[in-house]
Structure 1
């Protein structure tokens, strides 16, 4: 496994700038998949694009499908702890020995095609799902949509979650421009479920759907929500959809914003899964156990309560705003807010800094690995420029930063760990997976 992982990690990786890894288009992934026997056509696919909430929404859809008895593959990115998290079956990462064998089998193909890391791991995800006998795959877009490698699929259903201003240098400077790129995953006649809350972006997605003859379902218009009750372990609410009424649905992901994601996932599941239209039980079971059934990590994970410690992979302004709102809602009155914070160079730091300043956070900047990460010293200076109270020290690692803040904070304070997947991945308290990889992978065939 170590050799296979090292090989894959040696492939070009997108670093948030105009580098060799960002080579949009489908030719390379198509060549890989052709050499593998076109595994992306082995089962129906639900294709999920968006800026915010797409990982959570994809995970909820997959969890409901698993609860409904479907053998469900889930491809998401990036991974937190190990590479095989990108290719999960019923919430469990692909076995290490399967990945090692698959890379060995197709090493010559990889060398000949020259894919990026993302293209290679996407192709391996499809191969794993096909060889493991998955009968449904939920696939999260990597970046954008129209030119993303995942757009090789011919989906049974498309989903577009809320759209924000992220990767603007590549996708466009406005919500509408980014929406057009995200809507590039829509296909003629294939239903689309929308969770797009920005009016201009939603109009673009609706227009693209109309031009393609794709039935358009804006989930918030089709699902009435009442009685939402957020708590540290998730959120509970009632919902009425075109199919039925759901009383006391509990989503095992914390944060009031997860109601919106759940509404989108619910409508997607109703449209895509016969079992859900026949019986509400998979919806209740899947949403409640989404972390276990989909293997999702790093979304408002509560790591302690005195002080309150919350880890979240929020890496743009909208995501950070949701994380800060959650911490504020559950922080004891009078408690201080501390934040361990690290970001990538390509992110909208001014917007995130203003949010931290508005919430009166005391911030400890952290050193993250890789050229894409903004150096901790530069991060601290930029935060101070926007009025953020920055602690004088710098954390060498996320683990060191968390230990430092736990010493600084009182029992009634709150600690938010956010800004990057890399930061959350470096926190030792975070459970690493919903389940261990299976001891043996599927048969690889001839």
Structure 2
């Protein structure tokens, strides 16, 4: 799996060309390569500011966005690392609140790629090493780091003692990597997912999690936390949050009433509550309730139920609200379904060929006025017949929007973060 990227800067593009040649060697899983690469670079992961490390199937990116916003609202300097990028590779590395510059990015990638000679590293290992090198060299008060894939064998999972680790919602995704049979690992799929995500637990670092409907999942997380020596703080057992008109949060330290986050969707209240709980269960940095409230109001996380602004793309469908979501798995589909409950919408969808269209279609059943399938540039994707017998095909999102009726109904563009990035770029909403 590779997340391809391009750059207008020739120095960055030269390194991205090198990066694009890398792939995960067939059958290799483990942290040996990333540890060796980091050792060659002087072990930058051992010199980071306090780290907030977040795993999960859905919601981990939003949780990271809330953590960063709340920490910055406290006046702290924050490094952050998110995955994947939507438009520019630079989005993956944010230094002291600013996206890494082209000049620094080119230098970082060159340094790390040169150091990796003979190791056969993956795209993700190079990216993670470059991130840690940058975060170790530039002063900050805290780091927010999103897990890329799983947790146990994710390249970010090399830190000895983060300030706090978090696990957001869980679901079935990336089965080819996370459900590979392994001796000693759970065989029930959701329990195996919990096993992989809880692999980020570290001795002495609080592990803060959501609650989960399956007791076996919660039991597996508890086992992994105990095995690692990580104090476990699970929602519904050690902390509570009621999401309604506000977020009513409580734990052993007391109660808070916080505003709902600016990002739409009830699930965002749950993600925000997890970020609050992570801050409340650690002692590396101090964040006031006022800063938490301000962070929830100001946090941004593109391509997750994002209402697009007026731009070149939205001008193709005047009179319509146009929403964008990059979700593709079942949990993401449920969140989309809840957001559009009671509304009839037009769907513009592009999904990779290895994704299940029903993840998005089923939660919207009976509410789809039209379905228009679009391609995902450079990737194998589903054709129109995979979505519905009456779905139509358009060669681009622009063509899909231009073909919608003038009925003023909302439009959702969904199915892939790769597609979402192209949409943001076309509408002039490049993440900064």
TM-score calculated relative to the size of structure 2: 0.85
* 2:47 alignment counterpart: 42
Higher helix fraction: Structure 1 or Structure 2? Answer: 1
* 1:365 alignment counterpart: 373
* 1:72 alignment counterpart: 78
* 2:229 alignment counterpart: 213
Contact 2:54 2:60 in 1 (8 A): yes
Deviation at 1:357, TM superposition (A): 3.2
Contact 1:60 1:290 in 2 (8 A): yes
Q: d(CA) in 1 for partners of 2:25 and 2:377?
A: 19
1:334-345 paired onto structure 2 within 5 Å: 336-345=344-353
Aligned to 1:328, the other structure's residue is in SS state coil
Deviation at 1:347, TM superposition (A): 2.3
* 1:439 alignment counterpart: none
Contact 1:220 1:263 in 2 (8 A): no
1:404 aligns with 2:403: yes
1:166 aligns with 2:165: no
> Taking CA–CA contacts closer than 8 Å with sequence separation of 6 or more, which of the two structures ends up with the larger relative contact order?
1
* 1:232 alignment counterpart: none
1:249 aligns with 2:256: no
Q: What is the aligned-residue RMSD (CA, Å)? A: 2.6
Structure 1 unaligned residues grouped into runs of 5+: 230-235, 436-446
Contact 1:320 1:419 in 2 (8 A): no
Deviation at 1:159, TM superposition (A): 0.7
Given the alignment, which residue of 88, 91, 102 partners 1:96? Answer: 102
Q: d(CA) in 2 for partners of 1:100 and 1:11?
A: 11
Change (3 A) 1:205 1:421: same
* 1:52 alignment counterpart: 58
Deviation at 1:273, TM superposition (A): 5.0
TM-score calculated relative to the size of structure 1: 0.83
Q: d(CA) in 2 for partners of 1:361 and 1:33?
A: 52
Structure 2 unaligned residues grouped into runs of 5+: 1-8, 180-187, 310-317
* 1:239 alignment counterpart: 249
Contact 1:76 1:139 in 2 (8 A): yes
Q: d(CA) in 1 for partners of 2:14 and 2:65?
A: 27
Given the alignment, which residue of 186, 193, 209 partners 2:208? Answer: 193
1:177 aligns with 2:182: no
* 2:93 alignment counterpart: 87
Aligned to 2:281, the other structure's residue is in SS state helix
* 2:427 alignment counterpart: 429
Q: d(CA) in 1 for partners of 2:110 and 2:227?
A: 44
Q: d(CA) in 1 for partners of 2:119 and 2:258?
A: 50
Q: d(CA) in 2 for partners of 1:31 and 1:6?
A: 24
Contact 1:224 1:240 in 2 (8 A): yes
Change (3 A) 1:220 1:288: farther
Deviation at 1:430, TM superposition (A): 6.0
Q: d(CA) in 1 for partners of 2:337 and 2:304?
A: 12
How many corresponding residue pairs? 403
